[in-house]
Amino acid sequence: MRFNARVEVGHQPGILDPQGATVQRALPALGYDNVSEVQIGKSIRLVIDAADEATARRQVEEMCEHLLANPVIETYEVFLSEMASDTSAQKSSG
């Protein structure tokens, strides 16, 4: 089975986010003075082959623990969806 995996990496509470802070300060200049929080993280997309969804999720979570995120300062969330089988057939025949 082939899965689309999206990993959202954010900041642990209390970790500084200069990009978010700068964007938040800029938004009132556009007229949006009603934004009280901006956080900028990373979105990492993977295509992964695995026997089932649980295996795919476990492997992506291991990747997060060991490389994609630093748990001391970052949070991560994994979103998985199975890719349509005809998509993979098209790719392999391409």
Binding site for another protein (CB under 8 A): 15-18, 21-22, 67-68, 70, 72-74
**Inter-residue contact 9 to 60 (CB < 8 Å):** no
Q: Residue 79 belongs to what H/E stretch? A: strand 74-82
Cβ distance to another protein smaller for residue 53 or 62: 62
Helix, strand or coil, per DSSP, at residue 39 = coil
Element (H, E) at 59: helix 53-63
As measured in angstroms, the least distance from the Cβ of 84 to another protein is 30
Q: Least Å distance between CB 72 and another protein?
A: 4
Q: How far is the CB of 83 from another protein (least distance, A)?
A: 25
